[in-house]
Structure formats: C-alpha cells, structure tokens
C-alpha cells in the first residue's frame, strides 16, 4: 500500500450510498487483518462484520454516534478484544490500519462512538461472547465524494456551515513544527531543523491522523534516538478516547518511520510519569531504535 497517498486522501464519510461492500473485499480485509501487527501482540482483536446495516442503525440509534446520532451505513464492522490494560491503544492502532486498507480497496468508512461500557452495544446487537466491544466503524461508498474539513473521527453530526470542499485533508491541521519539541517540552523544532534531520515527512503525515473532535492532542519530544509521545487531556474526552487517539497516531508515526527506513518499535509506559510534561497531558510512551 502507498500509505502516504492513502493518508493524504483519507476522509471520514457520513453519507453512504445504499450499496453493500462486496464479500470478496470483506474477505481481503479479513485476510489482511490476520497478518497485521499490533502494539500488544498478546491482545487479540476480533473483527465482526455486521451485515444488516439497517438493523444495526436502528438498534444503536440513540446509543452510539455523537450524542446518540448514528451514521446510517449499509454495513458496519465491530472490533472486540479482551478488556486488559491499555487495550484501547491497541484498538486505535489496529482499527485505523484496517481503515487504511479499506480505503486502499476503494471503501469509505467512519468511526462511530460507542459507550465506554461495550456490553451495552453487545446487548443491543444480540452478541454473546466474553470480549469487550471496543470500536465500531461504518463502511460503504461515499455519497458525496468530497473531502470535509473540521472532520471528527467518531461520526458526529455537523452543520453545513462548518463544511468546505478542499484539495487535501490538512487545511485545519497543526503544522509539524507545532507538535514536535526538541530535547525538552516547549522547545519547538523548526521545519528547517526537521528537514535537516530528514524527519519532516514523518511529521507532515503524522499531523493528518484523525482524532476525537479533531482536537489533535498529540505532542512529541525528540531526544536522541527516542521519540516521546504525550496526549492532551481535554474536558469531555474520557481516558478511552485519549488512548484510542494515541494508538492512531502511533500507527501513523510507525508507518512513516518505516517508510523513511528508520527501524524501531513503540514502548508503552502509561503508568510512568515523565518530567517536564504538563499536568494536562498524559505520557504514553516512546518510539526508539
């Protein structure tokens, strides 16, 4: 897959055609999912296609989506996992990877917010297993074929006054020099310095990552061969959403590191404090060689 191209073209679809995704494409995504890596390999994630979109929409209306406003789609995919420590990081990383694969196959999608208690979703959908319902996405074909800025990644309702057609999805994004600090918090790196270090592409594409309420909560400290990640805590955004956003940005950084031939891995240490990070930020971990 050409990840740079997919990230640039990525958009969140809220108006789907009444047209199902062919089974052969679902099978391709399922096959891809079985070979995909995750942050925590021991935390297994299950993908379940919800074929009857009409039934799912009515079962979850008032329960899922922004303020209970569901996105209507021909099909949905539910992701479940064990309810273990930091599993939301794994889910965010994994699901966004599946979204990129769907896009590569010509399929549009949208994250759908679900309650913190996943059992509510399972009961509504008559799913009986011992896994935690951790994420839900709508899939299908976009009815509009335009990119929407001010886009949220959890399927929120929006006003047409907040929409603009754009050529790419970076119009409302923070620039890379606003999210990366050198050596210590607050010491912003210039674009020239990032170019000099051959890391400009990594953060150019990282800032295109979707996030809850499009809040772009991620900040990085580049120190030596370590890249430290912190996520801003915002009112009205719970820890689960923070960790999902962390998993998504970790995927984008890892993909771009790999593209730049920088080998390494993420080390998650959410139960550790990091000196110098403000109280309203949560330290997630670091990427290193």
Residues 142 and 16 sit within 8 Å (Cβ to Cβ): yes
What are phi and psi for residue 203, nearest 5 degrees? -85, -25
Distance CA 225, CA 189 (A): 15
Quote the pTM value. 0.89
Q: How many CB atoms lie within 10 A of CB 288?
A: 13
Helix (H) or strand (E) holding 188: none
Decide if pLDDT at 110 tops 60.
Answer: yes
Decide if pLDDT at 166 tops 60.
Answer: no
Band (11; pLDDT cuts 50, 70, 90):
confident
Decide if pLDDT at 167 tops 70.
Answer: no
pLDDT of residue 164: 36
pLDDT of residue 172: 67
pLDDT, the chain, mean: 89
**What confidence tens digit (pLDDT) does each residue in 169-223 have?**
444 678 888 999 999 999 999 999 999 999 999 999 999 999 988 899 999 999 9
Residues in the chain: 289
Decide if pLDDT at 28 tops 60.
Answer: yes
pLDDT above 90 coverage of the chain, percent: 76
Q: How many CB atoms lie within 10 A of CB 85?
A: 12
Any idea which fold 3-162 has? NADH Oxidase (3.40.109)
Distance CA 47, CA 69 (A): 23
Task: Tell how many helices (H) and how many strands (E) occur in the chain.
Answer: 8, 9
Distance CA 234, CA 218 (A): 12
Decide if pLDDT at 157 tops 70.
Answer: no
**What confidence tens digit (pLDDT) does each residue in 245-274 have?**
999 999 999 999 999 999 999 999 999 999
* Cβ-based burial of 263 (10 A; exposed 0-12, middle 13-18, buried ≥19): exposed
**How many angstroms separate the Cα of 140 from the Cα of each of 18, 31, 41, 200?**
8, 19, 29, 33
- 32-36, 42-46, 157-161: least confident range: 157-161
CATH number of 176-207+209-288: 3.40.109.30
pLDDT of residue 146: 53
Decide if pLDDT at 85 tops 80.
Answer: yes
Decide if pLDDT at 154 tops 60.
Answer: no
Q: What mean pLDDT do residues 99-115 have?
A: 95
Distance CA 87, CA 23 (A): 29
Token code pair at residue 170: 């970076």
Q: How many CB atoms lie within 10 A of CB 1?
A: 13
The structural domains of the chain, with segments of one domain joined by +, span 3-162, 176-207+209-288
| Strand partners of residue 171 | none
Token code pair at residue 171: 């119009």
pLDDT of residue 145: 60
Residues 66 and 157 sit within 8 Å (Cβ to Cβ): yes
């Amino acid at each position: 897959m050409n990840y740079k191209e997919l990230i640039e073209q990525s958009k969140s679809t809220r108006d789907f055609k009444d047209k199902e995704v062919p089974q052969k494409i679902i099978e391709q995504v399922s096959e891809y999912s079985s070979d995909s890596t995750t942050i925590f390999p021991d935390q297994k994630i299950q993908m379940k296609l919800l074929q009857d979109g009409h039934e799912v929409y009515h079962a979850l209306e008032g329960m899922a989506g922004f303020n209970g406003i569901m996105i209507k789609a021909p099909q949905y995919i539910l992701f479940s996992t064990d309810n273990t420590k930091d599993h939301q990081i794994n889910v965010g990383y994994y699901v966004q990877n599946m979204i990129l694969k769907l896009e590569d196959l010509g399929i549009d999608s949208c994250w759908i917010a679900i309650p913190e208690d996943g059992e509510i979703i399972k009961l509504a959908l008559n799913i009986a297993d011992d896994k935690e319902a951790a994420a839900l996405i709508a899939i299908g074909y976009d009815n509009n074929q335009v990119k929407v800025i001010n886009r949220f990644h959890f399927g929120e309702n929006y006003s047409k006054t907040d929409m603009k057609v754009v050529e790419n999805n970076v119009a409302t994004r923070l620039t890379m020099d606003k999210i990366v600090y050198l050596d210590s918090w607050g010491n912003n790196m210039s674009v020239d310095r990032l170019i000099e270090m051959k890391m400009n592409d990594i953060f150019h594409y990282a800032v295109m990552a979707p996030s809850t309420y499009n809040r772009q909560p991620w900040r990085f400290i580049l120190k030596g061969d370590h890249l430290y990640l912190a996520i801003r805590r915002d009112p009205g955004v719970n820890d689960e959403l923070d960790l999902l956003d962390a998993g998504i940005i970790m995927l984008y950084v890892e993909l771009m590191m790999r593209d730049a031939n920088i080998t390494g891995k993420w080390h998650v240490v959410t139960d550790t404090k990091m000196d110098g990070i403000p109280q309203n930020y949560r330290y997630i971990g670091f990427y290193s060689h």
